[in-house]
Structure 1
Amino acid sequence: MQMQQIQVKTVFLGDANVGKSSILCRFIDDQFDENIQATSGADFKVKSITYNNKKIDFHLWDTAGQERFRSLTQLYYKDASVACIVYDITNRNSFEVLNYWFKELKQHAKENIIKIIIGNKMDLSQQQQVQLDKAQTMAKTNDAILVLTSAREGTGVQEVFQKIAVQIEQSQSEQIKQKQATKIMKPQEQKKPSCC
């Protein structure tokens, strides 16, 4: 049986220095670079995983966090299937900015975009400024999934992409059900007597 192949455009959003590039570096190469360069504009990478006999090709867009790049960022998420919005658990401001990103996604992204909130830098939990219940409320309010990570230690990074894979599978099975329901309805619609 041939493995199904799915391409998933995934965009990483969030403030500068929250660890977007570090999370991707950990996911793709299983490495952590203390001196990783800040992203300018956007950076593109590809990584595949296998999930439930499906090959998922993640087309990963790492966007710059600086405010001056925000108008450009819209180009990357308007047709994305997944948005990962990253904050730094030791920086309350980076968490407050999530409200801006959710508003942007509501206005410009696909209606059924999968939203993941990533609370990064769990290795610095003793400096934590964002409490877990606040992050959970933010996720619930915005119909998003919350994952806590440490790009430095590698904690939670694979989990982010496993959760995306689960969501993609669920969304695909819903689409199949809708198509089947439409097929069932169509013959009934055709039986309507024509007037005149």
Structure 2
Amino acid sequence: MSPLFKVVLLGDSSVGKTSLLNRLITDKFDPNLPNTIGAAFISKEYTSNDRTVRLDIWDTAGQERYKSLTPMYYRNAKEALVCFDLSCPEASFERARYWVDQIKTLGPPDIKVRVVGNKKDLVDESEVNLSMVHEFCEENEVSLYLTSAKMGEGVKEIFDDMVGLIDREFFETSSEQSESLPQPISLLSRGTKNTTCC
């Protein structure tokens, strides 16, 4: 059975969280996907480098009225993807900073955070100043990805990196736990001696 891990998608409404997830699951882009209400859940087996894990992915709603509900989805999460819109980077990333602070404050202490700038297809990278984004990610030790859910660009790399890290940590931990277990002691003697009575 594949090891199971929880992933949560965070970010304001309309940054493309559901489209990223849809691209992962179906490898398609649907411009008419409705906004998520509350949260949507999907479980998927994902294979990378011959290792397979099961991801329980929670796609949270970004609307203001659902914000108070979001922390309940942080519990036991192994990974968080914090998404923002590259087509309006300054305003959208300011909101992403809020979500990063939220997950670092209220989420599990060992959660891995990845910042995802989506809608890359709508911008000319040479004209977008992402210096503050890079600086923030370096200071907070979070990974940065630039993606286009519409074109499928960069999405697979996120989950390949995620599964690679999860898998490595999982199997290293399993190996360490196995090595720390007490070794069985054989009660059988290595040799036998013939004995006679009287």
TM-score bracket, normalised by the shorter chain, equals 0.7 to 0.9
- Is 1:22 aligned to residue 19 of structure 2? yes
Q: Percent of aligned pairs with the same residue?
A: 36
- Is 1:61 aligned to residue 54 of structure 2? no
The farther-off stretch of 81-90 and 98-107 is: 98-107
Alignment RMSD (CA, Å): 2.3
Residue 136 of structure 2: aligned partner:
138
Residue 36 of structure 2: aligned partner:
39
C-alpha contact (below 8 Å) 1:89/1:129 kept by paired residues: no
Residue 149 of structure 2: aligned partner:
151
C-alpha contact (below 8 Å) 2:53/2:167 kept by paired residues: no
- Is 1:168 aligned to residue 166 of structure 2? yes
Question: 1:11 pairs with 8, 15, 19, which one?
Answer: 8
How many equivalent pairs are there? 181
Larger Rg: 2
Q: Aligned to 1:154, what secondary structure does the other structure show?
A: coil
Residue 98 of structure 1: aligned partner:
96
Question: 1:112 pairs with 106, 110, 113, which one?
Answer: 110
TM-score of the aligned structures, taking structure 1 as reference length: 0.83
Q: Aligned to 1:47, what secondary structure does the other structure show?
A: strand
Q: Aligned to 1:81, what secondary structure does the other structure show?
A: strand
How far the C-alpha of 1:73 sits from its partner, in A, is 0.7
Q: Which runs of 5+ in 1 are unaligned?
A: 185-196
Amino acid at match of 2:25: I
Larger helix fraction of residues: 1
Q: Aligned to 2:145, what secondary structure does the other structure show?
A: strand
How far the C-alpha of 1:52 sits from its partner, in A, is 3.8
Q: 1:65 to 1:71 in 2, by over 3 A?
A: same
Q: After superposition, give the CA deviation of every residue in 1:142-169 in whole Å (9 maximum; x if it has no partner).
A: 2211111100000011111001012213
User: C-alpha distance in 1, partners of 2:25/2:71?
Assistant: 24
How far the C-alpha of 1:177 sits from its partner, in A, is 7.2
Amino acid at match of 1:43: A
C-alpha contact (below 8 Å) 1:114/1:167 kept by paired residues: no
User: C-alpha distance in 2, partners of 1:154/1:51?
Assistant: 17
User: C-alpha distance in 1, partners of 2:177/2:156?
Assistant: 32
Amino acid at match of 1:98: A
